[in-house]
Amino acid sequence: MKLFDVYPLFDITLSKAKGVYLYDDNGQQYLDLYGGHGVISIGHSHPTYTARLTEQIESIGFYSNSVQMPLQQELVEKLSTLSAYQDYQLFLCNSGAEANENALKVASFYNNRKKIVAFKGSFHGRTAAALNITDNASLSAEINKDNFPVEFIELNNEEQASHALSRGDVCALIVEGIQGVGGLDMPSDDYLNYLSQECRKYGTLLILDEIQSGFGRSGKFFAHQWANIEADIITMAKGMGNGFPIGGLLIHPKIAAKKGMLGTTFGGNHLACSACIAVLDTLKNEELMNHVVVMSDYIKQELSGINSIKKIKGKGLMLGLEFDFPIKEMRQKLVYDYRIFTGASANPNLLRILPPLGISKQEVAPFIQALNEIII
């Protein structure tokens, strides 16, 4: 047997990780500014995280959603306080795509409509409905296409949004807090307020995909909270479990649950809840969201002297550095010569960085230095 060969891989085997650092099988240290696609939020092998997971697996690792789950209650309480979505309902699943899949389903159950408005440059995952609302036709097989009508509109274009919604037949509009895979473009605060108001006017549910931009990544719990709006449904994953697979959706109280409406075998299991609770405790105890704001300003300031960076996109510690040349070679150099992991996106000129949220000025310094050296 061999692995289904779908991933382009670095020639690196990791055997250990701690905080912001990764170590390969030769003991070589790497600075992790990408967290395996934005997953590592509180840092690799954080002591709170390892202690909580170890303790959990020694008592009970898994049982399905057929028994009482006090851990899910603990998660709900901590999540509602930190996210400020106090009266919402939580459904737990296992990944980002699954969270979006369920969000669309919940929206359609609620208003019985099936048309979705999504955005150019969007990425929402690789399952059937999530692919249908992702602006990249090359990822879809025949079987995924045209399951339901989708209109892709331009980010920050009010006219297109109003035109798409005004027929009154749109089930949901879905927008990323900050576009990840697409290249770190984001809806402006004014635009989010506009969308929120238009959605309400036409009975369309507003879904915020915070799978990459949520859980403190932007400096607020969810990126859309910078705009002071409330969404009807918010989807989450990635940083939520700091590496343990967990996803979820927050659902407005006006949407009533019915037994059997949604379901999953693994979602919300004991280990997944423990991982997420450790993340929430650490976000709170280490005041990581304040730290993200400070570090974001610091990194932007340090990078402002590099002329070939045309623009710094994104918010908090979800940043896209847009150069005036393709970054492919630079990214290879960063990994193999400077031992620094960074990310790419659909924009060939954009370097994506999503470091662990607790990264310090000293820890990020080798990256700033490497960029200065490579670019000169």
Ligand X SMILES: Cc1ncc(COP(=O)(O)O)c(C=O)c1O
Instruction: List residues near ligand X by CB under 6 A.
Output: 37, 95-97, 100, 123-125, 176, 180-181, 209, 211-212, 237
Q: Which CB sits closer to ligand X, 237 or 350?
A: 237
Q: Which CB sits closer to ligand X, 126 or 300?
A: 126
What does the alpha-carbon distance between residue 164 and residue 151 come to, in Å, rounded to a whole number?
7
Q: How far is CA 151 from CA 146, 165, 171, 192, 220, in A?
A: 11, 10, 12, 18, 30
What does the alpha-carbon distance between residue 53 and residue 71 come to, in Å, rounded to a whole number?
12
Q: Which CB sits closer to ligand X, 96 or 356?
A: 96
Q: Which CB sits closer to ligand X, 48 or 127?
A: 127
Q: How far is the CB of 273 from ligand X (least distance, A)?
A: 17
Q: How far is the CB of 218 from ligand X (least distance, A)?
A: 13
Q: How far is the CB of 146 from ligand X (least distance, A)?
A: 21
Q: Which CB sits closer to ligand X, 38 or 219?
A: 38
Q: How far is the CB of 180 from ligand X (least distance, A)?
A: 4
Q: Which two tokens stand for residue 292?
A: 């993200």
Q: How far is the CB of 37 from ligand X (least distance, A)?
A: 6
Q: How far is the CB of 237 from ligand X (least distance, A)?
A: 5
**Element spanning 131, H or E:** helix 128-132
Q: What angle do CA 221, 223, 227 make, to 5 degrees?
A: 110
Q: How far is the CB of 23 from ligand X (least distance, A)?
A: 25
Q: Which two tokens stand for residue 167?
A: 């027929």
What does the alpha-carbon distance between residue 274 and residue 280 come to, in Å, rounded to a whole number?
10
Q: Which CB sits closer to ligand X, 95 or 282?
A: 95
Residue pair 133/116 in contact (Cβ under 8 Å)? The answer is yes
Q: How far is the CB of 258 from ligand X (least distance, A)?
A: 25
Q: How far is the CB of 82 from ligand X (least distance, A)?
A: 20
> Which one-letter amino acid corresponds to residue 64?
S
Q: Which CB sits closer to ligand X, 277 or 318?
A: 318
Q: Is 279 exposed, middle or buried (0-12, 13-18, 19+ CB in 10 A)?
A: buried
Q: Which CB sits closer to ligand X, 125 or 219?
A: 125
What does the alpha-carbon distance between residue 349 and residue 63 come to, in Å, rounded to a whole number?
46
Residue pair 176/213 in contact (Cβ under 8 Å)? The answer is yes
Residue nearest to ligand X (CB): 96
Q: How far is the CB of 124 from ligand X (least distance, A)?
A: 5
Q: Which CB sits closer to ligand X, 43 or 183?
A: 183
Residues facing residue 251 across a β-bridge? 89, 233
Q: Which residues contact 20 (CB under 8 A, 6 or more apart)?
A: 31, 32, 33, 43, 44, 355, 356, 358, 359, 363
Beta 309-315 vs 89-93: how paired, if at all? unpaired
What does the alpha-carbon distance between residue 235 and residue 25 come to, in Å, rounded to a whole number?
36
Q: Which CB sits closer to ligand X, 176 or 281?
A: 176
Mapped onto helix, strand or coil, the DSSP state of residue 374 is: helix
